[in-house]
């Protein structure tokens, strides 16, 4: 990720770093908040008791994991803890809690893309630089987080979804619980040599960009028609 900053210098570099870090904090914090919110709504007050029912990044960010994300390109936030005993419908509720963070990331990516495009029309200033980088990174980070967390590897959300719906003693679940951390590390190392995530990420970003580009195209066309 450090290569991203190389084209900026001085005050511009500082502005870009702040926008970059802020967008990453929001993407991670909103992801974890979504887990906590849905768990609380479904009857488990564990996240609320632990102070996780908040948008405050300080309660969600793991300092070491966050620094790794910035300097290495992968890291983590503090996982939201839930007590499944408090759920009335175990499989359904655990699935909803697990998928909540991914849905939140998709929503943020969907919202941030048109705001990014809008910011490009504001002219040229330090403020516009901050806003454009912020929404651009917010779009990117949320798309990446959504895809990455869908991977069926322990302890990611994709695994949690499978775990919630698998029968007791499922061999895949047991294997992942024992070896998932090592497999995840291997995948992260592999990603430095083989870019397998980009095609998957495009499955999310392409529909979003196509939708908003179509909406903007229709808006511009209507505006031109009215001006004639």
- Which are the catalytic amino acids? 32
Which phi and psi (to 5°) does residue 89 adopt?
Answer: -120, 95
Spatial separation of the C-alpha atoms in residues 151 and 154, rounded to whole Å: 9
Spatial separation of the C-alpha atoms in residues 39 and 33, rounded to whole Å: 10
**Total Cβ atoms within 10 A of residue 8:** 15
Considering only CA atoms, which of 1, 3, 68, 62 is closest in space to residue 29? 62
Q: Check: CB of residue 85 under 8 Å from CB of residue 93.
A: no
Task: Output the CA–CA distances (angstroms, integers) from residue 153 to 72, 150, 189, 194, in the order listed.
Answer: 20, 8, 15, 18
Considering only CA atoms, which of 135, 149, 184 is closest in space to residue 24? 135
Q: Check: CB of residue 173 under 8 Å from CB of residue 166.
A: yes
């Amino acid at each position: 990720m450090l290569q991203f900053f190389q084209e900026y210098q001085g005050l511009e570099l500082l502005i870009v770093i702040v926008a970059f870090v802020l967008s990453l904090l929001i993407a991670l914090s909103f992801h974890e908040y979504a887990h906590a919110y849905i768990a609380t709504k479904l009857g488990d007050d564990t996240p609320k008791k632990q102070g996780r029912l908040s948008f405050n990044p300080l309660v969600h960010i793991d300092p070491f994991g966050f620094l790794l994300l910035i300097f290495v390109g992968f890291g983590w936030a503090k996982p939201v803890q839930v007590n499944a005993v408090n759920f009335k419908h175990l499989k359904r509720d655990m699935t909803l809690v697990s998928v909540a963070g991914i849905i939140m990331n998709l929503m943020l990516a969907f919202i941030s893309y048109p705001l990014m495009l809008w910011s490009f029309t504001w002219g040229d200033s330090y403020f516009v630089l901050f806003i454009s980088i912020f929404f651009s990174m917010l779009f990117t980070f949320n798309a990446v987080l959504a895809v990455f967390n869908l991977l069926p590897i322990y302890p990611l959300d994709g695994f949690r979804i499978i775990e919630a719906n698998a029968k007791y003693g499922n061999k895949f679940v047991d294997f992942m619980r024992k070896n998932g951390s090592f497999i995840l590390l291997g995948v992260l190392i592999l990603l430095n040599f083989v870019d397998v995530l980009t095609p998957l990420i495009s499955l999310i970003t392409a529909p979003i960009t196509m939708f908003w580009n179509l909406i903007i195209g229709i808006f511009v066309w209507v505006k031109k028609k009215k001006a004639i």
